[in-house]
Structure 1
Amino acid sequence: MAPNSKPGELKSIKDDHKYSDTYLKLPSEIGTDYTFKRKVVWFNAIGFLFLHLAAVYGYYLCAFRRPHPLTILWMSVLTFGSGIGVTMGAHRLYSHKSFKAKWPLKVALILLQTVAGQNCMYIWVRDHRQHHKYSDTDADPHNANRGFFFSHIGWLMSKKHPAVISKGKTIDMSDLEADPLVMFQQTFYNPLYIIFALALPIAIPVYFWGETYWNSLFISYFGRYMLLLNITWLVNSAAHLYGTRPFDKNLKPVESSLVAFLSIGEGWHNYHHAFPWDYRAAELGSKYSVTTFLINCLAAVGLAYDLKTTPYNMIQYKALRVGDGTHHIFGKIKRKNDVPTKESSEDNAKDDESNKNQSQRLVEANKG
């Protein structure tokens, strides 16, 4: 037994040692240990219960107590704006560096991400980079192999797996550490959060159109905050469990139209994990990708630049080689190639030519 250890502590010490060399392992070697027992952090669990109950009360006020219509509009604007701070700022700009931004856009995105209240940019990016590098293993903070509840919110209500702690120390964050805006936000995150995520969202409806503090608190803060959090969490949970895998069937993330709609473009997750550097986070931008549309608009006025995309022949090759056959163009080709018949060879040639022409039109449309 270790020096000064108490009875019952030896197993914990051995378990910690079991994961102490995780940084030497490949993701496939880490896997998911289903026998690992997580410890609930009751402070977090009770806190999230309270936040959800407060949000439900806020929605009750919206539905039955007739707050000022501008308050509901304000909640919607805040949800959308802070969501952009997450999808465009924390995710596509800082986590994946899929495009570059001029400093006014960086300031705006960091401010909006602060309003979202999903921790500071530095921690958000570190966790997301780790999620991609060790996706759906014990080193993934929200490992979807542990089920919907865990990957949605349970990971925030329990102590981190030792592999998450071990691998988290290996994530390269030097680019963010060299960014003064990101480090300023990290240093002063708590006062910035109080001002921009709590005080101003509540005060503006009260000051400008006479809303009550009570209504503004539960609608502009609790209702808005929990709505955005749950939409964000759906990308970790539903978009890893329910959908198709047209680009890589070996990846757990899926294509989810519902999540893409709710998260303004972040639900095309099989594509995103297959090609994480693509600023569109979806094939040719795909429908429901408001974030991609806004990046294109910002690029047109010079605030965003160096937008990274995936060559279409690479997408085609990936979908044909390891896709699950559900791709809207290449899935048909893949299925026919998997079961070739002499009678269908002429039809296949016609379909291939049609698909080729359609692919070319999509590429031209994307260039336009």
Structure 2
Amino acid sequence: MAPSQEMETSLIYESILNKNEKLKPPRASEKREWDIVWRNVIIFVLLHLGAIYGFFLFLTQAKCATGIFAFVIGVASGLGITAGAHRLWCHKAYKAKLPLRIILVVFNTIAFQDSVIHWARDHRVHHKFSDTDADPHNAERGFFFSHAGWLLMRKHPDIKAKGQSIDMSDLWADPLLRFQKKYYMILMPLACFILPTYIPTLWGESLKNAFFISAVCRYVYVLNVTWLINSAAHKWGTKPYNKSIYPVESKLVAFLVLGEGFHNFHHMFPWDSKTSELGNYAFNFTNIFLDVMAKIGWGYDFRTASRDLVLKTVKNLGDGSHPEF
């Protein structure tokens, strides 16, 4: 390692240690009132009932092409979150040329998890105030709250108050993201529901099957596996990089969410473009996609945590589950 790299690694490691000293160990969840937004409850109940019906239609009536189509756009929408909103725009873990940025904005719009600017703002708040009342999906409030409950009730006042400290100027400076934000309520229904319903009819699928399978069931499935990062990946698993925080390593979540389940690593090294120390493609499909983008020159300047930095962190902060120790 060159001297400058050693110095950079040392500075990053000192920053991690300083940050860790401020972290409090998990504490018992306090009682908080649930200010339920019943409109959201009704919408999500109807969506989930529609998804169950769509899965039934997939098993009993749908054409094979419809199932394949739903799977493909499901993966695409997932990449719009993992490779786009998360790794590229929220954490600046790599850089992307315009063609890739356009593709990822389209994929992100199909996902319907709000615009990139909105999603990245909430995620930056989550990292800065992780598992506190300022965290939109605070894991201290229980599995259901961190999975879906946070979307069914009004936000805690701390989220708005402390969220104002988050710098979003870099994303507002991007004309592509401003365009998506400005026209989101036109682009989202078209990308998430209308086109996924219309396209399967081109090969003779019924409108009912197309809507409930390709639009509703696909959308709800991607939502729930994404939410697992906030819930399961903050509850069940190992903590090889920092035993003092909630996020854990979960291969199951990583597999389901295209590589986003190595969450203990990610919270310690959020700038790492692979979001994991493991180079195992079986659990990190987003890495395959990004490696292809790097090969064709659309993705570049990928950032990774050095091996020396990772092992120093593991040795001093981890729970002993890392294979090196």
Shift of 1:218: 0.3
Tell me, in whole angstroms, the C-alpha distance in 2 between the residues paired with 1:213 and 1:168: 42
Letter in 1 for 2:246: K
Shift of 1:197: 1.1
Q: Which deviations, in whole Å up to 9, do the C-alpha atoms of 1:319-366 show, x marking residues without a partner? A: 010100000122xxxxxxxxxxxxxxxxxxxxxxxxxxxxxxxxxxxx
1:48 alignment partner in structure 2? 44
2:180 alignment partner in structure 1? 185
Secondary structure of 1:63's aligned partner: helix
Tell me, in whole angstroms, the C-alpha distance in 1 between the residues paired with 2:277 and 2:314: 11
- Which gives a bigger RCO, structure 1 or 2 (Cα 8 Å, sep 6+)? 2
Q: Give the TM-score, by structure 1 length.
A: 0.80
User: What value does the CA root-mean-square deviation take over the aligned residues?
Assistant: 1.4
Q: Tell me the matched-pair count.
A: 302
Q: Check conservation: 2:29, 2:140, Cα contact below 8 A.
A: no
Q: Is residue 2:82 matched to residue 1:58?
A: no
Inter-CA distance 34–265: structure 2 relative to 1 (3 Å threshold)? same
Q: Check conservation: 1:33, 1:138, Cα contact below 8 A.
A: no
Letter in 1 for 2:264: N
2:3 alignment partner in structure 1? none
Letter in 1 for 2:232: A
1:94 alignment partner in structure 2? 89
Q: Check conservation: 1:79, 1:225, Cα contact below 8 A.
A: yes
Q: Which deviations, in whole Å up to 9, do the C-alpha atoms of 1:149-188 show, x marking residues without a partner? A: 0000000000000001111111100000100000000000
Q: Is residue 2:284 matched to residue 1:257?
A: no
Q: Is residue 2:152 matched to residue 1:157?
A: yes
Misfit runs of 4+, over 6 Å: none
Percent of residue pairs bearing the same amino acid type: 47
Aligned with residue 223 of structure 1, among 217, 226, 246: 217
Q: Check conservation: 1:235, 1:259, Cα contact below 8 A.
A: yes
Letter in 2 for 1:50: L
2:72 alignment partner in structure 1? 77
Q: 1:1-368 maps to which residues of 2 (within 5 A)?
A: 34-64=30-60, 66-206=61-201, 208-287=202-281, 288-330=283-325
Tell me, in whole angstroms, the C-alpha distance in 2 between the residues paired with 1:285 and 1:253: 20
Which segment is superposed worse, 40-49 or 283-292? 283-292
Tell me, in whole angstroms, the C-alpha distance in 2 between the residues paired with 1:193 and 1:201: 11
Greater Cα radius of gyration, structure 1 or 2: 1
Letter in 2 for 1:211: E
Tell me, in whole angstroms, the C-alpha distance in 2 between the residues paired with 1:126 and 1:286: 29
Q: Which deviations, in whole Å up to 9, do the C-alpha atoms of 1:95-140 show, x marking residues without a partner? A: 1000000011000000100000101111000000000010000000
